[in-house]
Chain A
Amino acid sequence: MKLHHNICPRNCYDTCSIVSTTSNGVLISVEGNPHHEYTSGKLCSKALDDVKKVYSPQRVRYPMRQRGRYSGFWERITWDEALGLISEKILSLKEQYGTSLPLALNKYSGNFGILHNAMEGLFTGIGATTRAVGSPCWSAGVEAQTLDFGTYFCSDPLDMAQAKLIWLWGVNPVWTAVHQMPIIFDAIDHGAKVVCFDTHFSATAARSHQFIQVRPGTDGLLALGFAKVLLEENLMDPNLSDYTAGCEEFIHYLETKISLSHCSEVTGVPMSTIRELALEYGQTNPACIWAGFGLQRYTNGGQTLRAIDALGAFAGHLGKQGGGVQYAQFETWRFSGEISGDKPSSDKINSMDRNLNINRFSDEALSCTDPPVKMLWISGRNPLSQDGNLQRWKKLINQLDLIVVSDLFHSKSSEAADIFLPVTTHYEHWDVNAGYWHYWVGVNEPAISPVGESRSDLQIAWDVSSQLNHLTPGSCTFPTSGNEKETLLRELGPQMLEILGLENPEDILKGPVRAKFSRTAWENRTFATPTGRYEFFSTQAANAQLPPLPIFVPPLSPSINTPLRLLTPHHHSTINSQAYALDTRKTDFILYLAPELAQLYDLVAGDRAQIRNEFGQLNVIVHPEFGFSTDIVVIFQEQVDANFPLNRLLGTPSTDMGQITLGAPGFALNETFVNLRKL
């Protein structure tokens, strides 16, 4: 029996440290690492399926080639054949168009390990290429916090244990960030009160003292309503002038434009509740807000987060232990960037890249004509299950010469692929991972050798580069071979070592390390904004044609033809299309809705119904449940073996923010409207 350090690489708040056990080279169990302060020896139930997943019979073990897209007729090929087909295509496209721009990479968060950036490195090595940029996830919130604070940085999650009042706003940690819950429960045991704000009575609401149902997309106005009460009651921080900019303008806006009755009417929260909550928030110290990713997936998402930040600042809760407005952080991700080819010293070949918004990828790729996009590599992603605008995707697929998908299992995206490359799991390769919520960074070491003929993304990138250079010497500057472990140690450059307080990169091999940041964000109230202050009024926003103040902008409204808002939040069993629950596959989508709404549509539990809009339709089973408002219907993102994916109903509305910070706005997923009818 041997023990190994691993890290869960999924796009999840917790980024757990894992101890895996092998016997004779076979993975037999995985457990949490007790020496990790945040995850403290526990794993969520998704990771508990890992052993089964690694050895799942469904896992693709060999490179495959599909005879006819969507045919499902896959034949096994050798790596040499696969690499040959890919490399020849790359070279012939370069030759034909005189540029490598017809090659496109669409990669995101299937595995957040740093060595997976080898894919970016490979493409950079080939030359200027077409890339998916931005994020389907957090762009609006990231940008809002960057405008307000100068960057996005949260307190150590353990800091929340000090709070006396915790507002969980648009976040459902019971399902999506389980390791935060013991910290919140400890705070409750020490007398803290927890209030949950959401569009529906979530599992987190059920574990809170109070639940506030907010009409979707109106959270920003609610925050401004709270600030108005603080103003009326003179409960703002008396020292605001010392560390904020634009407070006068903000106060003027509250005085002239915000009325509590209007706020109550729009948000659906009674006036008396708004007043009570605001007083509690203004008078309790420390009070913490955790703003989730859910509330910024609207066309006004960035403004919403700016309003919530402003409320936290106005009440004087910023920079206080157990206080603040927590969203996420990226300060522990200062890797050298050598592998992705964006090392500052390298001559920026990729500044010539053609960057397409990841959320409108199909549309933008189709509009590229000079030269067109001809080859697509999908890695760490499943856009045909997650992206909107599927019809445009279909069209794009038709115009492509070659589609390569690297993954563990077949997916909606691989149905359209020509070549499938089997990749290793995080139990089969070296990597280094950081959290975006907690401050821990650690190494993932291989516990077993690759299953079947699977290869790591880094190995694949080396192999492609090697083949390219073999066919045409000098055609790719990415390395053609190397050592995984050494490559990962090189990513821990001087900056990361300093952040982690390590002498040598090798020190990280002993176990995960917590970055040396103070536990409380913005502790000294010096901010990273141009003024060095918290900015109620942001010149940067104004320069980007955004409102300089955190004013309320209404979300989109439903229409007569599509009167209901469809929300598709995460389910506890999956992270987006990453499938975990191997033995509980469902065959139908379940549509949750308020009993009154069900009645209105003459539906009872178990009825079959159809939701539809201009993008498509989907059959569902109806499940009326208490705790949903009557203007929404909800389908949780579960693994469902239906004929059509849930995302066939999605367009690609964009959030208001994300362009400055991440190069593209986010996906306003929650601005999806549908009609409902009984079948």
Chain B
Amino acid sequence: MVKQLGFLLNVNRCLGCGACAKACQNKNQLPPLLRWRQVRMVEKLSIDHIQKFYLSTACNHCGNPECLRVCPAGAYAKRRDGIVLHFSEKCTGCKSCVASCPFGAPQINPQTNKATKCQLCYERLDQGMSPSCVQACLTGALELKEVRDIPVNQLLRLTAPVPSLRLTRPSVFYKPPRETKV
């Protein structure tokens, strides 16, 4: 693999505003119930501190994509820049990828009965633009980076309550969240 693009989320700048998710929906003309990018809240309380932050997540364009490995129809491919693509022409709607992805990224489009997921706005990238979600982010919290350029010692991998994390090597990192003193 020549490159690996990935998302970097500075959770201390993320407002949970959902502009990224809405821009994704608009750009990709997704039906109302389908969201390739989602924002979820994480909260941890201690006696005198609250840690409350948002994670804006989409497909992680894993280094070692499980979706690609399990898809019997060969509907997945990984580009030389690391983008994991799904080709709906080849997809039979068998849902293997949906079941195998530890992050719930591929979802069945109720209108086509086929899997769909974030394609990292590759047409935009190919024209030198940033992905719609990154473009829409008001605070610069969400960025797209070449993951090998990120100084990994200051970053956390996107966590998920699953053991297969190390297996797939998701290309998503976030800055450690700050706490609020109360």
Interface residue ranges, A against B (CB under 8 Å)? 29, 31, 42-45, 48-49, 51, 174, 178-179, 181-182, 185, 188, 196, 201, 203, 205-211, 213, 572, 583, 626-627
Contacts and interface: CB of A to CB of B under 8 A. Distances in A.
Report, as a range, how many residues of chain B touch the other chain.
Answer: 20 to 34
Contacts of A209: 178, 180-181
A27 to B, nearest CB: 12
A185 B13 contact: yes
B180 A44 contact: no
B50 A44 contact: no
Q: Lowest 5 CB-CB distances: which A-B pairs, in order? A: A206-B52, A583-B32, A42-B138, A45-B19, A48-B22
B17 interface: yes
Contact of A174 (B17, B19, B137, B180): B17
Contact of A182 (B19, B45, B138): B138
A210 B138 contact: no
Contact of B182 (A51, A174, A211): A211
Contacts of B32: 583
Given A45-B18, A48-B26, A627-B50, A181 B180 contact: no
Contact of A211 (B15, B53, B180): B180
Contacts of B17: 44-45, 174, 178, 572
A42 B182 contact: no
Residue from A49, A181, A213 with most neighbouring chain B CB atoms (10 Å) = A181
B34 to A, nearest CB: 11
Interface in B122-143: 135-140
B21 to A, nearest CB: 8
B12 interface: yes
B15 A203 contact: yes
Given A182-B139, A209-B180, A626-B50, 18 more contacts: A42-B136, A42-B137, A44-B17, A44-B138, A45-B22, A48-B136, A49-B22, A178-B138, A179-B138, A181-B15, A182-B13, A182-B138, A188-B12, A201-B50, A205-B180, A209-B181, A211-B182, A572-B17
11 contacts: A45-B18, A49-B22, A174-B16, A178-B138, A181-B139, A185-B13, A201-B180, A201-B182, A207-B15, A211-B181, A627-B50
Contacts, number: 77
A179 B13 CA distance: 12
Interface of B: 12-13, 15-19, 22-23, 26, 32, 43, 45, 50, 52-53, 135-140, 178, 180-182
B182 A44 contact: no
Nearest to B39: A45
Nearest to B31: A583
Contacts of B19: 42-45, 48
Contacts of A31: 135
A272 to B, nearest CB: 13
Nearest to A174: B15
Nearest to B18: A45
B19 to A, nearest CB: 4
B15 A210 contact: no
Contacts of B50: 201, 205-206, 211, 626-627
A492 B32 CA distance: 43
